[in-house]
Structure 1
Amino acid sequence: MTKANTEHPSLAIVIPAKNEAIAINGVLKKLREYFPAAELLVVDDGSTDKTADVASENGATIVKHPYSLGNGAAVKAGARACSCDILVLMDADGQHDPDDIPRLLEKLDEGYDMVVGARGRESQASIGRALANAFYNRFASLITGHSIPDLTSGFRAVRTNRFRRFLYLLPNGFSYPTTITMAFFRSGYPVGYVPIQAARRQGRPSHLSPVKDGVRFLIILFKVATLYSPLKVFFPASALLFLTGLFYYLYTFLTMHKFTNMSTLLFTAAVLVFLMGLISEQITALNYRDSDDSNNRHQDNKAR
């Protein structure tokens, strides 16, 4: 790779890291070689090994947490600390190849506000995660009306001012990629995708926990729904309950000439689910309106 292909004005690369002393050395050496002018920020999220020392030896700026606050919290800390117009987010475990960064930046220059490195099936850690991610992607695509090949990828390039708008929405845990992707779609910011090949992580292995990852699966689905358009999920559920109640009422009326408690329960549940969706839709709209107002105030203050 030539230097001309890796130069980009005002570029910051933020790497959240926790106990990644083994892998981060090679990642930073490669980044410094390819992007000598970039601002390298390593957010040490409460590591108990020499992650911060290794990062410092490679010329990175260190943002250190006294204890682990979570991957999302580390990303937010890095976004607040950087002073560049373009932000690249990547992992410290060696899965994300710095060679792919120029492709993300080229796509960003086409007019996108965020570009995501989309992993293929061969890049998934296990069959279980591949199936879960495929379901996430399909579900999110249906909700937004846009093709989303990789909803949970943490490898992305984004315009810093756009990203900072949604810091208050981002969770401290590992589902921040889902949140920021849905927030961009909800606000009408164009999101692009570039296919990448993710390597196997270095250092400590990643294990799949049926309970922990199952709960995470459900939480991500709820986030997708509530962050973009809650009524797209609540209304079909409400309609299903209503139709079930209606058919059950017709059945009991024709067979027993009764309006049963079950029909009442189904109709009531349908109304409640619809109202919950309506309230959620209003809260979502208020969240994004508050974000717009806050951004406008920030721009006004800068102009003064």
Structure 2
Amino acid sequence: MKNRKVSVVIPAKNESSSISKVIEALVSNQLINEVIVVDDGSTDHTGEIASSLGAKLITHPYSKGNGAAIKTGARAAVGDVLVFMDADGQHSPEDIQKLLSKIEEGFDLVVGSRDSRSQASFGRLLANSLYNRLSSYVTGHRIADLTSGFRAVRREKFLQFLSLLPNGFSYPTTSTIAFFRAGYSVAYVPVKVLRRSGKSHIKPIQDGIRFLLIIFKIGTLYSPLKLFVPVSFGVFMLGISYYGYTYFTEGRFTNMSALMFTTALIVFLVGLVSEQITSLLYKDSD
């Protein structure tokens, strides 16, 4: 990277079995100016290992979440470009060059895109495919991997959206949608994902519900009307169909039809208000 400083930010919680290999590969990389490890309330020796190997260590007194660790690292970084990656050994430091090359081409956010073979399970593959399709529809841009945590971004632009980012695991989703919403340039490059070391911190039931909420968050973050208008139209058409049925069979207009028409109107108005609120949120982030 010419005349640019690169900071690698690694959120870590109880990753003592893998953190040493990750940091050793990063500190020897000539493209990287600093490696920041944010220890998110680990109960093992993750922080001690990271510090002993030359990483800049920031410790949370208790676990605040993956997204909170990302925000802490972004605030503390000195680099013009931030690279976010996991501490579990899934992301290959060799692929950082691919991300930085795209940044040099003029992109503001570059995401390492995983293929189907890199998904932890069929359920995860199915969920991610759904997120990618929905987000592509909402944004009008092809999104190859919405939830990948391996990414490079221009720091000054990333800092604009810190207030929008959640403290949990869905920060990749929010940041991607935010960059598209702001009109910034986003690119995807294929990367290899290795088998993780240690135990995953994702809880199937709890995080499954959370990921379902992400679907709604995608729409409300980018363009609420694209989510609410189809729902409103569907309820309205259902009301028309039911009214037609009752008119020809009973010769009257029923309360159920009136309820459906009212619901369709309310859903549309909620979408309209949400659209205005979303615009104000991004205006404030600037």
Rounded to whole Å, the distance in 2 between the matches of 1:285 and 1:256 is: 46
Rounded to whole Å, the distance in 2 between the matches of 1:152 and 1:10 is: 26
| Contact 2:6–2:31, Cα closer than 8 Å, also in 1 | no
Q: 1:271 aligns with which of 258, 265, 276?
A: 265
| TM-score after normalising by structure 1 | 0.92
Aligned counterparts, 1:278-297, within 5 A: 278-292=272-286
Is 1:84 aligned with 2:93? no
Aligned counterparts, 1:1-304, within 5 A: 9-35=4-30, 38-205=33-200, 209=204, 211-292=205-286
1:49/1:8 CA distance change after superposition, 3 Å: farther
| Contact 2:8–2:32, Cα closer than 8 Å, also in 1 | no
Rounded to whole Å, the distance in 1 between the matches of 2:68 and 2:211 is: 20
State the SS of the aligned residue for 1:273: helix
TM-superposed deviation, 1:196: 0.8
TM-superposed deviation, 1:275: 0.7
Other-structure match for 1:302: none
Other-structure match for 1:300: none
Identity fraction in percent: 58
TM-superposed deviation, 1:7: 7.8
| Contact 2:113–2:144, Cα closer than 8 Å, also in 1 | yes
| Contact 1:7–1:35, Cα closer than 8 Å, also in 2 | no
1:289/1:232 CA distance change after superposition, 3 Å: same
TM-superposed deviation, 1:214: 2.5
The one-letter amino acid of 2:182's match is: S
Q: Deviations over 1:163-196 (max 9, x none)?
A: 0000000000000000000000000000000001
Unaligned runs of 5+ in 2: none
Q: Deviations over 1:21-43 (max 9, x none)?
A: 11000000000111375111000
State the SS of the aligned residue for 1:166: helix
State the SS of the aligned residue for 1:22: coil
Rounded to whole Å, the distance in 1 between the matches of 2:70 and 2:219 is: 23
| TM-score after normalising by structure 2 | 0.97
Q: Deviations over 1:246-297 (max 9, x none)?
A: 11111111111111011011001101100110111010000011112xxxxx
The one-letter amino acid of 1:32's match is: V
| Contact 2:27–2:34, Cα closer than 8 Å, also in 1 | no
Q: Once superposed, what is the RMSD of the aligned Cα atoms?
A: 1.3
| Contact 2:85–2:91, Cα closer than 8 Å, also in 1 | yes
Q: Deviations over 1:210-261 (max 9, x none)?
A: x223212211101101110010010010011111101111111111111101
The one-letter amino acid of 2:110's match is: V
How many residues align structurally? 286
Q: 198-207 or 85-94, which moves further after superposition?
A: 198-207
Rounded to whole Å, the distance in 2 between the matches of 1:8 and 1:127 is: 43
Rounded to whole Å, the distance in 1 between the matches of 2:188 and 2:194 is: 18
Rounded to whole Å, the distance in 2 between the matches of 1:153 and 1:8 is: 28
| Contact 1:242–1:267, Cα closer than 8 Å, also in 2 | yes
